Structure 1
Amino acid sequence: MSAYFNAKKIVPSAMTFVDIAGLVKGASKGEGLGNQFLSHIRETDVIMYVLRAFESKEIVHVYERVNPVEDFEIVQAELIFKDIEVVEKKIATVNKMARIGNADAALEMNILEKIQKNLGMGIPVVDMEMNEKEKEYVYDLWLLTSKKRMFVLNCKEGLESEKIEVWKKELEEKTGDLVIMADVKLVGEMEDAEEYAELLGYVPKSVKDIIKGAYDALNLITFYTGSEKECNAWTIEKGANAKEAAGVIHTDLENNFITADVVNVDALLDAGGWVKAKELGLVKNHGKDYIVNDGDYIIILANK
């Protein structure tokens, strides 16, 4: 798109990945980096578990064995232990509120006791069945196990694929989340995954695959705006409407929204530009309730 417009400025959508040091058993009680590690997790939107799935005599595993499923279970258990502490403290606070006649205390206590019971059974918050009111309440607790998840099995391309497939299937069945098998070292070094296809017999996972996985885990899509002056990629949650998309660009566009002209960006470029796309009937005018699709190119019409 930027090449078509010969844009002077390109502003891509952005996602920040934070590398947090590995967690050891007992972190919830201060072992290893302990609370420092756990505090970093509170600030994230999704936890990407990068789990070792390769043997190496040079790189020693802290537990002297390789089993990514067990590694995940250790990390999750520590997060659950920490969440139990948070919930217990909140229950004590709500009890005090109940004694002074707080009207919401009973409802809060029901939700907290439900969470406490499930955590005690080893069920993370993200896997608990909750109604919308309960979800809103839990969101404000900033519980560690409420985070969305995805997994990267760090393996060596071309080695022990059958064992890794077993681990992948086990994690998928256990969590229902996305599991990517990737050689993390190779991912960091290669510029073009296609270059390795002939050598390996398949196209290895790349940084793009991992980023897409994170987008999917967060339920995000991308829409575009562009001109000769500037081309932008904007990130928005799947299911957002045109007016909400306008607010991502600028609050004034959302507040003064009238309509939006929309066309798929690939269709726009294939047609040869905006004028030709309109002639072909590809550009559609939509109101505020239009649900934005991944890859939409949008022009917002608003009052000044």
Structure 2
Amino acid sequence: MPKPKRQLTGVAKDKYRIPKEEILYLKRVIFDMENNRSRLQQAREHAQYHDTPLSWTHVAAALKADMLDLSYVNRGLKKSIQMHTQTANLLSLWVSHQSLHAPKPTTTRETWQSSHLMLGDPALRKTACEWISKQMVHNTPQAMADIPFPFDADDQIHVHVLDDDDGVVRTKVMAQFMLPFPRDQVTNAVWTAEGSFCATQLDVFDCNTEDVGHGPRRIQLKTLSYLSSTTSDESIMTLRTIVQDDAHPTDKKTWLMETKMWIVMEQWGPQYTRVRTFFTMTQPFTKRGFVSVEEYARFQRNVPIEYPVDTKALLRQVKQRSYDGHMEQRRQWKEHVLRAFAAARFGRVRNNLKMGLVGLPNVGKSSLFNLLTAQSVAAENFPFCTIDPNEARCAVPDERYECEYPAYLQCTDIAGLIRGASEGAGLGNAFLSHIQAVDGIFHVIRAFESEEVVHVDDTVDPIRDLETIQGELCKKDLSYVLAQRKARETDVRKNPTMKLPPLFFTVMDTVQELLEANKSIASKNDWTAPEVDKINELIPAAITTKPIIYLVNLTKRDFIRKGNKWLVPIKQWVDSHGGGVMIPFSVEFEQELWDQRKVNKEFVPEVPSVLPRIIKVGGFIKAEVVGFEDFKTLSEGDKKGMSKVKAAGKYRQEGKTYVVQDGDIIYFQFNVTNKKK
């Protein structure tokens, strides 16, 4: 009698279940192997008759391909001629309007004249931006000689707030600090941090709007950033505001500010980098001239104004306020760089990146997912409408779209978490496992009141919601860390020859203390390189090491007027919990904008959408680099990989700003999906 098959149930059944992702991966492998077998078979059949001439079909196909290549080259040459002709005409017009008797530049006068961008096609404007930026890089020594820098390695900040005879305030800031990391890594971190630091200081929106005088005044800052590696031991980053842009003219009442900044990063020994910053800023002005001291004081908010106005006393208060603000800003900038550095080092980057939408129920996750990915998943007014995660991809906006394959960002709509999710409340353990599978987190926060959309806790309180999500993520990581630690220590007890290194206990103890204090692992800014490697080795699935982008969902009215009572408290909470990028948006506004564009594709809104910014912030690139000479010396013919190179510390990670050197061996990882076959 045949023995009956064993029926698997419960835990055993789940243990032998093949994940859906693995099945899809194996199907793709089978498909690629079948295509490869077909190509090899055709090549073998052709090799048997290699002495015979090619058929006319193959000859015609080859000629067609050559003609297409020549056509592309000819089209590119025509565009190049047209662009250079237009550039020459515009430059001739610009030169004709310049003064022929301009004063000779001196050591105290800039050798470039303006940051004026003219009209023209994208290629011409790009050339103009490069010219302005390279002029700033060229004049870096002259600009930074305007203020003395210390010769030692101590951290120092100096702020000089001056006023001329007309009462116009001009600020000069010098800052220097040391970072215990190589220059290439510091350069990537500074470039990343500077891209988001202005928004954290001026306002949570792109532009700063304050009530000044009899109506709102907006300070418009269009900045131009540039990074240059002048030598093997030095990198220079420049930033300058575009005061006049003919393609985007400003209103007469719009406030502008002339700002220029130089950041010089110098290698200081094998493992240290000295970062020097020189920053200048003028008083706000309009097309009519500089704003008055009284208006400037109202903008600074914390400067009291007494009537009748004592202009000299008010000017002293404005200068003191500027001094205090810039001193604190430079300290925060260093912390921001360290946070960006930590986030980049903890990110486990793969060839196909995923960002997960996380938050409480009914905060707008599924609605945002539909807008980002052009999907129509269910988004209802009750908790746990989403059970299984929805996955889709969204194209990354890029002006190069017409000539290159677009990049895509994978987005995952994860069901809402509630208090007690780490203990299983609301199917929370399953939802937290979905978060472990993504590479970064879009944390959606509700900051809008609506009687039609119920809140899981009955009242709207974003700070309470942030604490809830943070607490559940930390509890999930804590249970994961304790399990991993117990498993390692159990293995050591079973094998007397094994011994855990001291770094194991140092890292695990610190991680456990952070999580028990409801702090994320990435919130600690001074992790060393060996500690980061040990964390990635021991707890690779930790949630709180993932980069987080905070998306604050507002009403349409609040988004358009750029104001909400919760924005400042949310920003303060984010800064006190490790920092991160914060982007206010409105599902209500974006949905109406989407509907209008479906009716009229040429519709141009007065307030632009922030969805492209959200998508771009979610994408990133990484390259693993080793020099050929280091590889040749250390590998000693070892074909097994980079183990000896990594052990010697010569295998490093670089970001999108890295300049490739001769002989580099590079493994690129980027969030671009493969082209469909």
Give the one of 496, 503, 513 matched to 1:117: 513
Alignment-derived partner of residue 238 in structure 1: 656
| Equivalent-residue separation in structure 1 for 2:567 and 2:477 (angstroms) | 31
What amino acid sits opposite 2:508 in the alignment? L
- Pairwise CA distance, 1:19: 1.0
8 Å Cα contact 1:91/1:109 also seen in 2: no
Alignment-derived partner of residue 616 in structure 2: 212
| Equivalent-residue separation in structure 2 for 1:146 and 1:126 (angstroms) | 5
Give the one of 563, 567, 576 matched to 1:174: 576
Q: Deviations over 1:278-304 (max 9, x none)?
A: xxxxxxxxxxxxxxxxxxxxxxxxxxx
Alignment-derived partner of residue 91 in structure 1: 485
Q: Deviations over 1:24-78 (max 9, x none)?
A: 0111011113121111111212111011110000100000111222212101100
| Equivalent-residue separation in structure 1 for 2:431 and 2:657 (angstroms) | 33
8 Å Cα contact 1:180/1:210 also seen in 2: yes
Percent identical residues: 27
Give the one of 156, 173, 176 matched to 2:555: 156
8 Å Cα contact 1:25/1:74 also seen in 2: yes
Q: Deviations over 1:198-227 (max 9, x none)?
A: xxxxx2442101112223xx5779xxxxxx
What amino acid sits opposite 1:32 in the alignment? G
| Equivalent-residue separation in structure 2 for 1:148 and 1:31 (angstroms) | 25
Alignment-derived partner of residue 80 in structure 1: 474
| Equivalent-residue separation in structure 2 for 1:204 and 1:89 (angstroms) | 47
User: Using a 3 Å threshold, how does the CA distance of structure 1 residues 79 and 165 change in structure 2: closer, same or farther?
Assistant: closer
Q: How does 1:180-195 map to 2 (within 5 A)?
A: 180-191=583-594, 195=604
Q: Deviations over 1:163-210 (max 9, x none)?
A: 13323432442242111110023324525798332xxxxx24421011
| Equivalent-residue separation in structure 1 for 2:655 and 2:406 (angstroms) | 16
Alignment-derived partner of residue 291 in structure 1: none
After TM superposition, which residue ranges in structure 1, 4 or more long, deviate above 4 angstroms? 4-10, 191-194, 218-221, 243-247
| Equivalent-residue separation in structure 1 for 2:609 and 2:461 (angstroms) | 21
What amino acid sits opposite 1:111 in the alignment? V
Give the one of 408, 417, 430 matched to 1:36: 430
8 Å Cα contact 2:436/2:543 also seen in 1: yes
- Pairwise CA distance, 1:108: 1.5
User: Using a 3 Å threshold, how does the CA distance of structure 1 residues 115 and 122 change in structure 2: closer, same or farther?
Assistant: same
Give the one of 517, 523, 540 matched to 1:127: 523
8 Å Cα contact 2:622/2:669 also seen in 1: no
Alignment-derived partner of residue 166 in structure 2: none
- In terms of Rg, which structure is larger? 2
| Equivalent-residue separation in structure 2 for 1:73 and 1:204 (angstroms) | 31
| Equivalent-residue separation in structure 2 for 1:169 and 1:208 (angstroms) | 21
8 Å Cα contact 2:548/2:580 also seen in 1: yes
Unaligned runs of 5+ in 1: 198-202, 222-235, 251-304
1:32 aligned counterpart, secondary structure: helix
8 Å Cα contact 1:94/1:105 also seen in 2: no
8 Å Cα contact 2:556/2:586 also seen in 1: yes
What amino acid sits opposite 1:185 in the alignment? E
Q: Is residue 138 of structure 1 aligned with residue 542 of structure 2?
A: no
User: Using a 3 Å threshold, how does the CA distance of structure 1 residues 8 and 89 change in structure 2: closer, same or farther?
Assistant: closer
| Equivalent-residue separation in structure 1 for 2:618 and 2:508 (angstroms) | 29
Q: Deviations over 1:221-248 (max 9, x none)?
A: 9xxxxxxxxxxxxxx9334443779754
TM-score computed with the length of structure 1 as normaliser = 0.65
What amino acid sits opposite 2:518 in the alignment? G
| Equivalent-residue separation in structure 2 for 1:214 and 1:249 (angstroms) | 15
8 Å Cα contact 1:52/1:155 also seen in 2: yes
Q: Is residue 147 of structure 1 aligned with residue 546 of structure 2?
A: yes
| Equivalent-residue separation in structure 2 for 1:8 and 1:17 (angstroms) | 23
| Equivalent-residue separation in structure 2 for 1:247 and 1:105 (angstroms) | 30
User: Using a 3 Å threshold, how does the CA distance of structure 1 residues 113 and 138 change in structure 2: closer, same or farther?
Assistant: same
User: Using a 3 Å threshold, how does the CA distance of structure 1 residues 131 and 66 change in structure 2: closer, same or farther?
Assistant: same
8 Å Cα contact 2:585/2:610 also seen in 1: yes
2:557 aligned counterpart, secondary structure: coil
User: Using a 3 Å threshold, how does the CA distance of structure 1 residues 247 and 186 change in structure 2: closer, same or farther?
Assistant: same
Q: Deviations over 1:60-98 (max 9, x none)?
A: 000011122221210110011111111111221222244
| Equivalent-residue separation in structure 2 for 1:67 and 1:53 (angstroms) | 7
What amino acid sits opposite 2:617 in the alignment? G
Unaligned runs of 5+ in 2: 1-74, 80-400, 624-653, 671-677
User: Using a 3 Å threshold, how does the CA distance of structure 1 residues 241 and 188 change in structure 2: closer, same or farther?
Assistant: farther
Q: Is residue 108 of structure 1 aligned with residue 504 of structure 2?
A: yes
| Equivalent-residue separation in structure 2 for 1:182 and 1:12 (angstroms) | 24
8 Å Cα contact 2:622/2:668 also seen in 1: no
8 Å Cα contact 2:422/2:476 also seen in 1: yes
1:47 aligned counterpart, secondary structure: strand
Alignment-derived partner of residue 292 in structure 1: none
1:18 aligned counterpart, secondary structure: strand
User: Using a 3 Å threshold, how does the CA distance of structure 1 residues 162 and 188 change in structure 2: closer, same or farther?
Assistant: closer
TM-score computed with the length of structure 2 as normaliser = 0.31
What amino acid sits opposite 1:212 in the alignment? K
Q: Is residue 196 of structure 1 aligned with residue 599 of structure 2?
A: no
| Equivalent-residue separation in structure 2 for 1:55 and 1:219 (angstroms) | 38
Q: How does 1:253-264 map to 2 (within 5 A)?
A: none
8 Å Cα contact 2:462/2:570 also seen in 1: no
What amino acid sits opposite 1:107 in the alignment? L
Q: Deviations over 1:92-136 (max 9, x none)?
A: 122224432423344312211111112111111111231111111
